[in-house]
Amino acid sequence: MSRVVMGLSRSSSREFEMPELPEVETVRRTLEPQLKGYKVVGVSVHEPRLRWRVDGARLRRCIIGQSVLGVTRRAKYLQIFFSGDVCLLVHLGMTGRLSVLRSEVTLEKHDHVIFHLEGGFELRFHDPRRFGSVDVCSISDLPSHPRLAHLGPEPLGPDFGGDYLYTVSRRVRQPVKAFVMDAKRVVGVGNIYACEALFMAGVNPKTRASRLGKVRCERVADAIRTVLTGAIERGGTTIRDFESTVGTPGGYGTNLLVYGRDGGGCPRCEGVIKRIVQVGRSTFYCPGCQRA
């Protein structure tokens, strides 16, 4: 098995990927065949202070001796299923990375949690900013897990669509940008894809969710699915060297139409992409084709 690293790419300072839903799905698809069937023989916690404190003793007690059955995803959480009704719940946060590699490979700074596998391999959780999390629970308790219980539908699943968005937005005063990023309504839509989807749908990010009619709800839902599906098909590439293509609409190396392109030309009209701050986060949109 060759060295495989998934998650945050560090191959160059100008190339990076933030783990939004497509990245997490790509990690899942890569990880599953690498891990399936492998038994955990040890767990090392080098830094327990992640988003929530890692309980090393509990991790060891639950997971040692168990074998990986499969890897699934719920929202941006990876669920690694083990024998013995055990599930490892991993969130990559902003900068998290999961690697499967041979145990002789030198540890890196920020390799916080190591799962030693039989056969001389290790699953390593690496996360410089420590916004990620590693938790263990029983598979049967997953639906009621405090991190998962309140989550809305999967954007690519059967419960999400224009009708759903219309129904749940009727009395929501939030701007639509905040609304689609709210995991209670729909999961997996981060800042980047929210900007991209609203641009694609031609909807102004400041519009109150309750003011969207059925048609625009349908357009927003379709755009979210299109943007996420496209990114998964490209292997979870969110941002690749986008800084070098700022102001170069439709430029090489990125599929982002508005994100990070403030001051640049709109790919669709003669307008200029604008950056505003909503709920403390950057929003990029075209005032020309995303009319209020």
Partner DNA sequence: CGGGCGGCCTGGAGGC
Partner DNA sequence: TGCCTCCAGGCCGCCC
For residue 191, the minimal CB distance to DNA (Å) is 4
How many residues bind DNA (CB under 7 A)? The answer is: 36
Nearer to DNA, 8 or 68 (CB): 8
The answer to the question of residue 190 lying near DNA (CB under 7 A) is: yes
The answer to the question of residue 14 lying near DNA (CB under 7 A) is: yes
Q: Is 281 a catalytic residue?
A: yes
The answer to the question of residue 253 lying near DNA (CB under 7 A) is: no
The answer to the question of residue 279 lying near DNA (CB under 7 A) is: yes
Options 39, 65, 72, 94; binder of DNA; rule CB under 7 A: 94
For residue 41, the minimal CB distance to DNA (Å) is 29
Piece of 65-73, 157-165, 265-273, 274-282 that binds DNA (CB under 7 A) = 274-282
What is the rounded distance in angstroms from the CA atom of residue 50 to the CA atom of residue 222? 35
The answer to the question of residue 206 lying near DNA (CB under 7 A) is: no
The answer to the question of residue 211 lying near DNA (CB under 7 A) is: no
The answer to the question of residue 164 lying near DNA (CB under 7 A) is: no
Piece of 88-96, 98-106, 155-163, 266-274 that binds DNA (CB under 7 A) = 88-96
The answer to the question of residue 234 lying near DNA (CB under 7 A) is: no
Which residues are annotated as catalytic? 19-20, 76, 281
The site for DNA (CB under 7 A) is made up of: 13-14, 18, 20, 49, 51, 75-77, 91, 93-95, 109-110, 128-131, 147, 171-175, 178, 181, 183, 187, 190-192, 279-282
